[in-house]
Amino acid sequence: MLRHRMENSRHGRDRSAPSHATGNRSARDASGSTPPASQVPQPPPSPPKSRALLAVLGDVARYCGLMGALAWVTLRGTAASGYDWQWHRLWRHLFTAGGDGGFRAGPLLDGLGVTLQVVAASLALALLAGLLAALLRQSGSRVGRALAVIYVETVRNTPLLIQLFVVYFVLAPVLGLGRFAAGVLALSLFEGAYIAEILRAGILSVPTGQWEASRSLGMDVPGTYMEVVLPQAARTALPPLTGQLVSLVKDSSLVSTIALHDLAMQAQAVAADTFLVFEVWFLVAGMYLALTLSLSALAQLLERRLRYEF
């Protein structure tokens, strides 16, 4: 009897006390009006352009301060050791003035040109090798997945210098490759293994709803990759790809070990000829820094454009 009365009391209380959410929704539906704009949650305001510009200038100032501090420490160290700076003897190895009033590239600029050629060719082949390995990792073929895993794990877990020697002394004579082609091949295989994992992470970041929508539209797998998946994956993978491109520029200095006349090898020759060790390597470090910073700036512009388009 007592249990029956408690259940009746509870049911009556539930029927007589409607929720606040239902009452508010009924009142809004009955009046046919929306809540005032002051009650609608607004997105956080974007920072003004002046504040963003000040932040960028602050970062540049801190970077310049750090570089200035490193330069001061270096100068103090060389001054304490009694080193005599002779920058005036170095510029003729960078460029020389011709008799007709023009400029002729010196050995350092010639080496920079070879480095740019190596980086451009290696980047193109590395992107191709990385994309192929990433697609094989995502394929339904066990053999393809096994080959991709063996390639990626083997290359990523062995030193680049050893791979360069293997390609130059073992594969190059069999394939009939020269020094330039052997260096490009070794760099491409090495960087392609890292790019494969970056691209695979970008592909996995695409929501499954995009795949389902493409399948519902009757698109095949290659069309889905080319028109839907890879454009979205490229936007996600662009920042780490930029870091890998910077690593490629720095790793390209190792091709000097196979007598390829890039910037690093030309710097070694100039330093051995003039005994200007500090001047030569500081100048070469600045050239590498300018190259990597320029590539990073271009990648940031491309990233902003992709973010705007998507």
Which residues in the chain show pLDDT less than 70? 1-49, 98-102, 306-310
Q: Which residues contact 135 (CB under 8 A, 6 or more apart)?
A: 225
Q: Provide the pLDDT for residue 15.
A: 47
Tell me, rounded to whole angstroms, the distance of Cα 258 from its chain centroid: 27
Q: Provide the pLDDT for residue 284.
A: 93
Token pair listed for 168: 């130059």
Q: Provide the pLDDT for residue 26.
A: 43
> What is the rounded CA–CA span in Å between residue 227 and residue 222?
9
Q: Provide the pLDDT for residue 101.
A: 62
Phi, psi values for residue 95, rounded to 5°: -160, 155
Q: Which segments within the chain are labelled E, that is strand?
A: 95-97, 103-105
Q: Provide the pLDDT for residue 94.
A: 83
Q: Are 195 and 241 in contact (CB under 8 A)?
A: yes
Q: Provide the pLDDT for residue 32.
A: 47
- Looking up tokens 């293997």 gives 166
Q: Number of helices and strands (H, E) in the chain?
A: 13, 2
> What is the rounded CA–CA span in Å between residue 286 and residue 293?
10
> What is the rounded CA–CA span in Å between residue 165 and residue 171?
9
Each residue of 114-170: pLDDT tens digit?
A: 999 999 999 999 999 999 999 999 888 899 999 999 999 999 999 999 999 999 999
Residues across the chain: 310
Strand pairing class (103-105; 95-97): antiparallel
Which of these, 148, 159, 236, lies nearest to 196 by C-alpha position? 148
Q: How many CA atoms lie within 13 A of 129 on its CB side?
A: 23
Architecture of domain 105-309: Orthogonal Bundle (1.10)
> What is the rounded CA–CA span in Å between residue 254 and residue 234?
29
Q: Provide the pLDDT for residue 42.
A: 56
Q: Are 145 and 136 in contact (CB under 8 A)?
A: yes
> What is the rounded CA–CA span in Å between residue 310 and residue 305?
9
Q: Provide the pLDDT for residue 91.
A: 83
What are the structural domain ranges in the chain? Answer: 105-309
Q: Provide the pLDDT for residue 59.
A: 81
Token pair listed for 2: 């007592």
Name the H helices within 157-253: 160-166, 172-175, 179-204, 208-216, 221-224, 230-251
- pTM for the complete prediction? 0.72
- Looking up tokens 């009142």 gives 27
Helix, strand, or coil (residue 84): coil
Q: Are 186 and 217 in contact (CB under 8 A)?
A: no
What would you measure as the largest C-alpha separation in the chain, in angstroms? 118
| Cβ neighbours of 303 (radius 10 Å) | 16
